[in-house]
């Protein structure tokens, strides 16, 4: 068990990659605070993870708000007395080009993807500093490196996250490690929403899968494997890095 006794917060934990990461972390012995917006899905996941002796606790809230992130850290400390790992995984697409996107959609996307990481890190880091150690893992995207049509706010926010990760690694190392993962196309609800920016969503997703060198979409479990490695002791010399995990699609 690679995370035995560890306390982790995971945002966007009720679906897609966040759910797979939560399941893997609990399987590896961590107690996990599940952050999400969907009360029913959150409670179901909490109960499923609690079977077979796992420990998970759902807290609902919008991560674009400072108050939600404060609450997540307060609950972790109140319930478990410490916080070892934070995975800031929640994300929003915010489709539209610079001239098309509404100001509200732009703001909401930047707040969900970027401010949420700033807020959660801001509350988590002092607790990690008290313990003299901690790990922050941020979900960015290959959209940080490669442009996608009509994804202006998404690309901008995901690229900003990489700069923020490197800056936080510098400010808070060696006690706290901070890294990013940059997934390519992974089979979650989000990729199907992303495909709506194109004329034939179904065809685009199929083409994207065959465009990878591995000839398939990623599975949420593929991402969970990398997340587990990066938060574990096995990655103790890794900080300030951004890892692409994309079936090789960025080679093209």
Ligand X SMILES: NC(=O)c1ccc[n+]([C@@H]2O[C@H](COP(=O)([O-])OP(=O)(O)OC[C@H]3O[C@@H](n4cnc5c(N)ncnc54)[C@H](O)[C@@H]3O)[C@@H](O)[C@H]2O)c1
Active site residue 172: no
Catalytically annotated residue among 119, 154, 172, 243: 154
Window 204-243: residues binding ligand X (CB under 6 A) = none
Nearest to 181 by CA among 5, 7, 12, 26: 12
Per CB under 6 A, does 133 bind ligand X? no
Per CB under 6 A, does 92 bind ligand X? yes
Per CB under 6 A, does 42 bind ligand X? no
The residues near 22 (Cβ < 8 Å, ≥ 6 apart) are: 10, 13, 32, 34, 45, 49, 56
Q: Looking at beta carbons only, is 53 or 242 nearer to ligand X?
A: 242
Q: Looking at beta carbons only, is 54 or 183 nearer to ligand X?
A: 183
Within 10 angstroms of residue 73's Cβ, the number of other Cβ atoms is 23
Between the alpha carbon of residue 76 and those of residues 63, 71, 110, 125, 248, the distances in Å are 15, 8, 26, 13, 37
List 22, 30, 45, 90, residue binding ligand X (CB under 6 A): 90
Per CB under 6 A, does 36 bind ligand X? yes
Per CB under 6 A, does 17 bind ligand X? yes
Which range, of 24-32, 121-129, 186-194, 225-233, touches ligand X by CB under 6 A? 186-194
Residues touching ligand X: how many (CB under 6 A)?
25
Per CB under 6 A, does 151 bind ligand X? no
Which range, of 25-33, 89-97, 122-130, 228-236, touches ligand X by CB under 6 A? 89-97
Q: Looking at beta carbons only, is 29 or 187 nearer to ligand X?
A: 187
> From CA 39, how far away is CA 65, in angstroms rounded?
17
Binding mask 111-130 for ligand X (x = CB under 6 A): -x------------------
Q: Which residues pair with 245 in a beta bridge?
A: 183
Q: Looking at beta carbons only, is 82 or 147 nearer to ligand X?
A: 147
Residues that bind ligand X (CB under 6 A): 12, 14-18, 36-37, 62-64, 89-92, 112, 139, 141, 183, 185-186, 188-191
Instruction: State the catalytic residues.
Output: 154
């Amino acid at each position: 068990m690679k995370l035995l006794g560890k306390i982790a917060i995971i945002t966007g934990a009720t679906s897609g990659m966040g759910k797979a990461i939560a399941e893997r972390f609990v399987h590896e012995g961590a107690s996990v605070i599940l952050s999400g917006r969907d009360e029913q899905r959150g409670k179901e996941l909490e109960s499923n993870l609690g079977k077979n002796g796992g420990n998970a606790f759902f807290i609902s809230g919008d991560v674009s708000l400072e108050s939600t992130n404060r609450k997540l850290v307060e609950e972790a400390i109140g319930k478990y007395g410490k916080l070892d790992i934070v995975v800031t995984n929640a994300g929003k697409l915010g489709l539209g080009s610079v001239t098309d996107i509404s100001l509200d959609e732009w703001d909401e996307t930047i707040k969900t993807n970027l401010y949420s990481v700033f807020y959660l890190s801001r509350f988590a880091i002092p607790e990690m500093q008290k313990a003299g150690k901690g790990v922050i893992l941020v979900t960015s995207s290959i959209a940080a490196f490669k442009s996608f049509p009509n994804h202006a706010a998404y690309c901008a926010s995901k690229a900003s996250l990489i700069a923020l990760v490197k800056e936080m690694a510098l400010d808070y190392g060696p006690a706290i490690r901070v890294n990013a993962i940059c997934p390519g196309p992974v089979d979650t609800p989000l990729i199907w929403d992303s495909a709506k920016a194109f004329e034939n969503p179904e065809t685009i997703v199929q083409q994207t899968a065959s465009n990878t060198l591995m000839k398939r979409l990623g599975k949420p479990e593929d991402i969970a494997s990398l997340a587990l490695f990066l938060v574990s002791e096995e990655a103790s010399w890794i900080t300030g890095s951004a890892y692409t995990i994309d079936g090789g699609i960025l080679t093209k």
